[in-house]
A and B are shown apart, each in its own frame.
Chain A
């Protein structure tokens, strides 16, 4: 049904192909009477005439478009005219009514075709239709995969095929194909379709756009073999089709033995790069095979040459196995690419630029929004294939949860399998299980809330991840420390003892304070706290006990309230009620009075007491110091701190000279991210150690202690005084920028508006119906169909 059936018009038009370009002096549309027009017709020449009533308006959209088509059609030797039907001259081509006017295509004085004007809706459609009519022999229109197969089979060993799919007749892409067929129609068999199914049958899924394939059938001698196909990667424009076909004509692989800088082929003229595969005699056969493979892959994208190193007179780098010449006049790049695929991707990435720019203008929204920029999500995703030793933790379910946490003291990790932060923490959790393997402390369990939401809801878990500790006879305790192996380990270990521990004798108290009592816990709690109360101080004891419970898992606390408590209070010069703080590292015991102090304040006192005078700042402990809202005085050290500096700073601190800042130091060996910090402060990493004051909370200024001064008490004191007096200038100010969205989101609202304001192009059954109409109606001689052809362009 769709095959061409105007055999009656089958006249040779090969002259059209040969005729030299006919130039007319005037490009505007000549207006003639019918008689005059027919007298101008020359045998063998094609002419398009629009017949209209003399009194019809002199301008219309159609006439404007026809006017635009005059020049291009003349370039193909086709004249165009507007014929005014005057009363005196009757012509059968003059319609009786105004709306029946048509355009007619003649060769000589033979009518080839008539076109309703709505078929020729614009310049592209006019040119496409006229060429389509003239080239019906050169361009085979097909509708089924079988048609294509038949043509392919018929041409094997004879000629190559240019097969193209356009969405509809009369589109700009159709015009481009027809123009190419005008030039190459003798050399190649042009095949055209508008059938999506046909395109899909050869494995193309992207049916939104027009496509052109080159079928290499000429060299196929075995009829059972398929013709190789090369897809044109660029959009279908006349120039690009021309370039593409030209590149198909060029030899697949050329061998050269001259300076690649001097080599030039048709590819460079076509704007395509050259790729040289460097070959040596010893590996010639293999290199040639590789080069051929690459050449097929890069066909239409680049020219591929085999460069014979051994017969080369110029030197090329020893290591290089590929040379790349981007364009004429550009120096040749020598590359080492160990994989043929790398060559392909290198070329594609380096020639891509021009195309993507065109794309970007059209529909690219700038940066790639699908690029993962969340480091947690990305690292978890990258690790997804690794099998975690999850069997070291007990997986709980809705059925086992209650029984398990009631039967044994358990840690439960509540997580969600799809949430990256949860999964990152699960890694740490499993590491912890590995560390604790074989030590009977607590049962490490986990429950995936994506599978058992009701359990999690019942346990009051509304976000992920959450860690809770379940102990017999106690309310479950939520873990609120760092989500990492070390801190959770500390929490679990310190929870082995009750908090506060009830100390019952002086001797036990001394052992407790010296660290002997809980030797294995010292590494988790550098400070042991002991509350001293006389037996009568029940309220104070309750407050302290409450505070101890609150701090459970974070610090060791004990309570002593025996009759002989005075022995201890006297020894440590404490007034009851009091706190004793034993710092195990410094082997010091300090006392703090506790009169009328509420639990909350006791927590505060203990928390403050845990702070060190001159701590090494780490990722884990920075938050506790930042809370103090003071500028940080940081000594950056590459490795362990110089004891002299330490002493200087400690002395200053002791003398209360450093009360307005938090003195601390950072070991780049333990905290490598410190380098990143120094880069921000100094741009170029300064010689270490370096001392800075960072005013985090007010202004963000960073001051650097002069590098030419020695870090001594005196110099430091002087510098700090000058700082306070505002006499020092900062080296940088920390950015105060807000954290804005890293990338824009899809603007679906805009897309929906755009779709609503245009004709309905959205996907849906209706859209489909329109496509159906279009497909059924593209038959060229169907006069009523043209109206539909523009739908969905």
Chain B
């Protein structure tokens, strides 16, 4: 194969000929577009798996977005360096900047001491991440064009042909697009040209001294801009279509974070600065001879002639119109869109419709709806959980990228989704461990969920971590695991009615303390769904409104906890065990070897804990003091003392059987009555 082809020649051939195999461009199994956080994260997983991959980066270093943005240099992703815990997985819940790797030096807390770090530190971090892990990144390579080349032998029935700015082509089996959102969002209205963009506006407050400033937009960039100039301007007005959404009320990190909300203070306290709601597309800006800007309605501008003095203004009719004052500057902070321009139409990479025009349309597996084998990663993949979860941010997409990698490992390399198989007696512990430490579940609540696949006879289970829960119906085909005997899905959720703009999240009685009210928990808490069989695609698609998953056979909420520490024996563990037991129709209690011994000689069946421990010579012996506690608790009779059959057996609380469940075995005394019946 001709591996060395002059770029010019290749371009010429590409224009004139169908690319023949002999002149095929260099091939990679995986091509990653963009060496930002998501691209590097994917590169890391591909590298660890020993895959053939290449990252293409337009700039000369990773994370170029962060060299310019955010303009005021302060990241609003928290860098919590101290949690009082040593659990590295748990600590990632409050480290929103690190990428996932096996190298503890590559944790962001080693790069910045600031709670809200400087963007420069992120650039430095990403640089180290790429170089220390020796990720294969091709810098200074701007992919200008992506097309499809149909080929039946290709993994996905086609190859992706990438062409860079020099005309060099690359052929890829799988294309991973991690280019982020790079095109500033523009709104078209008369006079839009007078607005300066966030991307280029001055960040020096001196330039705003004594000015009237109008900011278009209501996101974090708008508030960040306002925050910077609040002290020197006459006033700042902010205009956007929708009401302000405070992230602590919506529980969505993309909404306005408390760190940027200084303007709300002066607006609400002193009517100094202000927020206004209007559809920007209805507006028009006219410039007067003094260079000041006046807000009017598009409708007026279209009606009258275009000269500035003659344009009617709203205040002509209504003399208390809010924006009747003239502005010195108008700044546009309307966010970014995905750059669709480099993708050929044949890739059918389209925007996500009404609600997420800024994002390309992808499936819950992050695969493009238009082209098999094209996956969108990182910020650009946020259409999956826009305004819901954290998939548009580093602390969220580091996990969705891992999920995509796991899907690819199965699809192309036959490696089933990693799982741990354990005896059923370990089920309660396995679930507890994850809900108490897992960061992926915690960040990507409602998107990634753990799945427990029950094995035949219910004696064992497989534990799969952080599976994209909207793919549940296709779980068997995309993971290579079998779900024939029932499954549990472990998700983290806020209360159904708790989050939303304008909701009072501080209302009295907001926290739930009783386990029987756990389903009304408001703060993020674990919810476990049980299905007897995999839901179908139909069931997932047409699930009840507000439900993240189809209606399960049973559901359990672990009651919210102020410390997010769900290890309390009675409030957290016991109700969870009862739920799992009732779903599986078995007894998941732990027993000491002595109890197992008794059961082994007095019953034909043993509880799973005894079967899987004691009978395999791994019984739990216990100590004298624990035995005394057992006797004291009434869960064990002091056998040494029992000379005659105890008549008060029913009064021992632990093994007492509910009257309506005569079939449930009472480990110690039930056999007595059972025998009578059988004799």
Contact = CB atoms under 8 A, between A and B. Distances in A.
Interface stretch (A510-518, A574-582, A742-750): A742-750
A463 B426 contact: yes
Contact of A463 (B422, B585, B590, B627): B422
Interface in B647-674: 653-661, 663-665, 668, 670-672, 674
Given A453-B89, A679-B672, A742 B589 contact: yes
Contact of B578 (A369, A462, A481, A734): A369
Contacts of B613: 483
Contact of B640 (A374, A484, A672): A672
Nearest to B576: A745
Contacts of B555: 748-749, 752
A749 B552 contact: yes
Given A367-B656, A696-B604, A675 B640 contact: yes
Nearest to B649: A679
B267 interface: no
Contact of B619 (A483, A676, A746, A767): A483
Interface stretch (A6-14, A150-158, A412-420, A519-527): A412-420
A208 to B, nearest CB: 10
Interface stretch (A423-431, A533-541, A545-553, A640-648): A423-431
B255 interface: no
Given A379-B630, A735-B671, A398 B597 contact: no
A368 to B, nearest CB: 8
B85 to A, nearest CB: 7
Interface string B423-465: 1001001101100110000000000000000000000000000
B632 interface: yes
Interface residues of A, number: 99
B664 to A, nearest CB: 4
Given A452-B86, A748-B518, A752-B555, A379 B587 contact: no
B594 interface: yes
Contact of A746 (B570, B579, B605): B579
Contacts of A732: 675, 678-679
B607 interface: yes
Interface string B557-594: 10000000001011001110111011101110111111
A764 B627 CA distance: 46
A382 B632 CA distance: 9
Contacts of B272: none
Contacts of B495: 763-764
Given A398-B88, A737-B663, A483 B672 contact: no
A451 B90 CA distance: 9
Nearest to B426: A463
Given A427-B625, A740-B586, A735 B567 contact: no
Given A418-B567, A623-B617, A375 B589 contact: yes
Nearest to B635: A375
A676 to B, nearest CB: 5
Interface stretch (A56-64, A84-92, A680-688): A680-688
A672 B630 CA distance: 15
A739 B605 contact: yes
B679 A378 contact: no
B507 interface: yes
Given A464-B429, A482-B617, A746 B518 contact: yes
Contacts of A377: 569, 573-574, 590
A619 B89 CA distance: 39
Given A453-B89, A676-B602, A424 B594 contact: no
Nearest to A756: B544
10 contacts: A370-B574, A375-B592, A398-B86, A420-B590, A431-B623, A484-B621, A619-B619, A676-B639, A740-B663, A765-B505
Interface of B: 85-89, 420, 422-423, 426, 429-430, 432-433, 436-437, 495-498, 503-505, 507-510, 512, 515-520, 522, 551-552, 554-557, 567, 569-570, 573-575, 577-579, 581-583, 585-587, 589-595, 597-598, 600-608, 613-623, 625-627, 629-630, 632-633, 635-640, 642-645, 653-661, 663-665, 668, 670-672, 674-675, 678-679
- 5 nearest A-B pairs in the assembled complex, by CB-CB distance: A484-B621, A764-B497, A418-B567, A741-B581, A376-B590
Interface of A: 366-367, 369-383, 386, 397-398, 416-421, 424-425, 427-428, 431, 450-454, 462-464, 480-487, 619-620, 622-624, 626, 632, 634, 671-677, 679-681, 683-685, 694, 696, 700, 732-749, 751-752, 760, 762-768
Given A676-B602, A738-B665, A746-B579, 11 more contacts: A370-B574, A373-B653, A463-B429, A632-B601, A676-B598, A734-B603, A745-B554, A745-B583, A746-B575, A762-B497, A763-B495
